[in-house]
Structure 1
């Protein structure tokens, strides 16, 4: 290599590389600490000044690589990591158990099917079966959606024990996504009560005009509620008795798979 060639080789940004290394180590520490990933414990494990830890956390939180658990205040790995690692890492136990069910529901209904799990105060789609129809709900794996305006969110909240549900409700921002969205705690609590009584949730154009969704809470192998499955249908394509057929399909196939 000549002197001129050496001049053209970009010099490494030492500060930038160090920041990346610190950020990656912080992600590792959050994963290692789990429910104990508080700011105090993260700082102690990293051995960095608190301002540095705060700066790294704020940057990663803005990019959705980490999120703060609204229930306990600890930090958790964010939904952006989920999106990036979806294709390269093994699917979670719930995804593996639910995948065949999603396909079966999609085949029987001909509509888009989602599996959503909670991330912070949102639900995130972690798996999806696309409808073959030209007109269908626009969504993607890794997409965050509100709890209060979606069938996956309401089905999940309704299936929780009262104490945990109230912790979530205290943290939710009930913003109107459409003019049909529940925007008060009283209205949302009433909707969740109805959801528990009938065993399924409905999002009737509350999150996207023209789209109606039916949600069913699903449980992990240990019996705890872990997320929800939904079927999304353009409103114009749903016949008067179509909702009953879809609901029976969801419940029957989820029951057969041991998800409810």
Structure 2
């Protein structure tokens, strides 16, 4: 029996499909018969796994009914590589801010046309702190980091965003409609930073600054977060640290 407590959560059909995908580390092309022999399963089962992976875009079918990896796999690999490079570059700056100011810092990217994802963090040193789980996603307009990114996206991107989101406030401070969001984004562009003033949870606030490419496109955003009272009291200190870190990060991206 496995000692891993997560074993009970495994979906064996998914695990088997991934085992089929793993075969392509060794083989450039596979037929259903090849896959069945390699994994010790019957051909019809191997065929269903291959068709499922094909329909999901991870493999393609050749003219002679064999299967090979698709470009989507390469794209995913490049995305993973770029994220790791971004994390490796920015993580020391998150830690420096947290060590100096005591509050938690986060690195966030726009992972879909409507949601941001928290991909790195450095938890604050103070007793009462904010700790968001990595991989957490949220509508961009409900977070400081998301608004910092949205403010520097194209008009077309922003209007597509508005068409695809639901403005359901999490608290009384949340953005309630598209007009309010557009006004907020204009303000962010003017001041260079975004705020999340208890918009997701009462008692918690953050300041966020976008990371921009040479062309001015938003790549990500970093934030400093904590209890509202402390954040407001040290607002300028947090913003100075974020602006300083962003300046150095953007130099590193050049």
Q: TM exceeds 0.5? A: yes
Quick check: 1:45 aligned with 2:40? no
The answer on whether the counterparts of 2:108 and 2:120 sit within 8 Å (CA) in structure 1 is yes
Q: Which residue of 1 aligns with 2:143?
A: 150
Q: Which residue of 2 aligns with 1:201?
A: 194
Q: CA RMSD in A?
A: 3.2
The answer on whether the counterparts of 2:225 and 2:231 sit within 8 Å (CA) in structure 1 is no
Q: For residues 204 and 18 of structure 1, what CA distance do their matches in structure 2 show?
A: 41
Q: Which residue of 2 aligns with 1:109?
A: 101
Query: Structure 2, unaligned stretches of length 5 or more?
Result: 1-11, 25-53, 63-74
Alignment of 1:112-123 (within 5 A): 112-120=104-112, 121-123=114-116
Alignment CA distance shift 1:18-1:186 (3 Å): closer
Q: CA offset at residue 222 of structure 1?
A: 7.1
Query: Structure 1, unaligned stretches of length 5 or more?
Result: 1-15, 29-38, 48-75
Structure 2 residue matching 1:92: 3-state secondary structure: helix
Q: Which residue of 2 aligns with 1:234?
A: 227
Structure (1 or 2) with the larger CA radius of gyration: 2
Quick check: 1:126 aligned with 2:119? yes
**Greater shift in the superposed pair: 249-258 or 127-136:** 249-258
- Deviations along 1:171-225, one digit per CA (max 9) or x if unpaired, are 1222211111012000111111101111000010001110111010113577632
Question: Of the candidates 238, 241, 250, which is equivalent to residue 249 of structure 1?
Answer: 241
Alignment CA distance shift 1:125-1:17 (3 Å): closer
The answer on whether the counterparts of 2:152 and 2:216 sit within 8 Å (CA) in structure 1 is no
The answer on whether the counterparts of 1:213 and 1:230 sit within 8 Å (CA) in structure 2 is yes
Structure 2 residue matching 1:139: 3-state secondary structure: coil
Alignment of 1:27-42 (within 5 A): 42=57
The answer on whether the counterparts of 1:94 and 1:220 sit within 8 Å (CA) in structure 2 is no
